[in-house]
Structure 1
Amino acid sequence: MVKRFLFIILASSLIAGGCGKTQEAKKEPEPEKSVEADAAKEPQKEAWWEREHEVYEPADLPRELTEDEKDLMKKPGEFSGDQYDEQAAIEKLKELPDNLTAEQYADAILKLTAEDYHEDVQELIKFDPTIESTGSRPDEEIEEPTVNGVHYAILLDASGSMNAQNKGGTRMEEAKSAIMSFIDVLPKDSTVSLRVYGHEGTGSDADKERSCASTETLYNGANEAGKVKAALDQVQPAGWTPIGKAIAETRNDIPEDAGSAIVYVVSDGIETCEGDPVKEAQKLAAEGIEPIINIIGFQVDNEAQQLLQEVAKAGNGEFTLANSKQDVEKYWKEEYQRLMDAWENWRNEGLKEVQAKQQELLKKADSLGQAVMKKSDLEFKHAEALQIALSKEGIQEDYDITSKVWSLLYDRQQMAWNYGYKTSTAAWQDAYEGGNKVWQEIYHEGNNKWQEYYHKQ
């Protein structure tokens, strides 16, 4: 019993002694950490071949990018284009580890040699083949008798002097005949008004006030020759000549929805009612519809010619001296010839403009495509040289991997080349067909208008 008891005590002492040593060991200074250990804990910088390709982010494109276009939006490599330095690029490739896949090797080569396609691609995406002629059609600039929405206001002088004899009858008879010839060639969908002035009273001083106050619309409506003729038949030469008043009142004859108006004043003399036809012509010409006042003077003397010329000028129109019905008909023929010439000129200028724009677009489409294709060829030339260097420099000696790298680079070149070719060809074709279509439209429109006025002469 005693021996066992002592054994237990000794064992306890040993245990207690061991604990003491352990506590003392904990107080010893910890060893310093190595620089290598600290470096191992720091995040490693990404190697250049591991980084994602930087890409351009184009804005305001008319559509989403295709996968090929996204690939061509990658920013150029360090050794692209004129920056290509084969030896420097090979030195960069020597930094590559020897356990990369063919895809990684090909990607690394493209990071060095990729060309900059983004501007050409954006231009191809934004390419607009639309061709339009900017020339103003004669119906916008010229008093064109066949334009829809035009109102023709005819003011007929019914003063006593219109009863004077002329070669083919009285001046009034010839004026009426000339007006009807004009009505016959106006577009059927135009509107016409006939206003007379000076048709009441007589030429005596006693009737001057009444006559000078007389101006009346005898017809206003669709271009119906029978109704216009019936209205003309009522007119008989009578009194004085209130041209100013007639011009002032004719604004009431022009429909509110008329696109434009052409006012024809047929007279044989000057204002005799103290009116101011020049001032009234200016006022009328300042209206929103901008009417044109053309004056046809029958057998007028020099003083009347001067006044009527001033009225026509104030109304942005023309003065024509007519001594007979034939002269008035000649006037209309000249008008039609003027329009024929205008349409012919519009057609020729339009065709010239369209051809020039078409050629410009065709050249642009071809140039963009050629730029992409040439860059793809240059990129592949540089990439292929580096691919060959992979095995020659001992960077990559596995034939299968090296061969696959070449195939990947070639596929990239084919993709870029085909994109440039197909996209530019499609743009070229659109511009070619669009230009031809507009050319045909202008040609036929100009010819049809020319024929129309030719047959009216």
Structure 2
Amino acid sequence: MLHTNFRLLGFTAIFLLCVTSCTPAGPSTPSAPSPPAKPTHSVPVSATPPALKRKLTPFEQSLMREPGSLHGSSFNEADLRRHLDTIALAQPASATYQQLLQWLHEDYRPLVIETANFPVDIHTLQPKPTEDLRLEKRTHFAILLDASGSMAEKIDSNTKMHSAKRAISSFVSKLPNSITISLRVYGHKGSSKVADKALSCQSTEAIVRATGYEAASFAKALNTVNPTGWTPIATALEAMEQDIPSHAEEVHLYLVSDGEETCGGNPVQVMARLRQQAIRPQVHIIGFRVDNQGQKALKQMAAAGAGTFTYVDSAKELNRFLENESRRLMQEWLRWGQAAGSETLQLRQQKLSDVDRLFRAWKSTSDREEAHLKAALRYLQDAHYSTKELNTLAQLIHQRTQQLASYRTNTRRSLQEAIKKNGWKTWNGIWDEGTDQIKDQWNHKEK
């Protein structure tokens, strides 16, 4: 008489295999039907609730009851009919509904547990660079700073010189302990007057000589420099060779200037010659709000040294350029960032797929329960159960179906949103993590 929908039994069998390891085995199908239990309005809950990452909602708590005697693969149409035959035809729908749940309630416990404990956090498993990370070669950073009078020009309430000092200090503070640094200034003596040109054009000085970074001494050296004279770039480049320690295997040259050579030297020629030396410096020329003619001259220098020229218009741009340079040099962290970022996106997608899998299992289970409840409803109708109570019972079954559907939709959406949010948060934080680790692990220079 009763007709049951078995469309999803194939998936059910697979799902039951999946949850066997985390839930007690269900009771075997009895050879004869057990006598039906008395109707009850209470909702029995498992005696020993499992450890959960969050508190269950009242609806989830109601689903944690023991499954019905005819749930899942234990369902048998003949047994259901024998159970239904014990129900009085005039019995209230609420009592009949509770009795049906006693027999047909599916085992939602593993689904509730997995949902409550679903891990929405995303953490990359890529190993980070170690605290002993060093550049591959013994590296020297040679910094040349223009101290000519034009560096006294103000930009955003600070002089170019002030902004350059701050940017350089920040840059070198982020470099590995294993490197050496020299800081050479030029044009810092005399004045920009013609009478002082000879003195100023001969002025270049290494105020920091091939040493590791030490914040206090570096700041003290910079504080002695004031913008005042002419621009002897060629002279400074020639003297810079003396600043490179003999053990250096690689040299990075950073030259910050707001103008071209004004002392008659030929910095392009000097740069070309440096490029022919045994240690060919990697050249980076930074033009700090330099005019078109100055840009052209500095670009020629960079080209002669097979290097780069970058124009910056403000202290913010100068800081950004040097910050990017420090990151560019940290190849190990960059490689980690690429691998960790890719893995994070893969984990995010995998978790979203796991959510889809979980809620397919939810729907399969609830659909099976609904089919069994409706089969019982049809049998009671054919058995001439009270029409009034039958309509009420149908409403109760419909309400349960809608409640389960609403729970599935809202909970699935909530998990998906959390996974997406955490995934992007982790992905965006990878580069910040790299920067923080670099500061913590590489820069203990004030100790």
Could you state the TM-score of these two structures normalised by the residue count of structure 2?
Answer: 0.45
Pick the structure with greater CA Rg: 1
* Greater helix content: 1
Could you state the TM-score of these two structures normalised by the residue count of structure 1?
Answer: 0.44
- Higher relative CO (Cα under 8 Å, sequence separation at least 6) belongs to 2
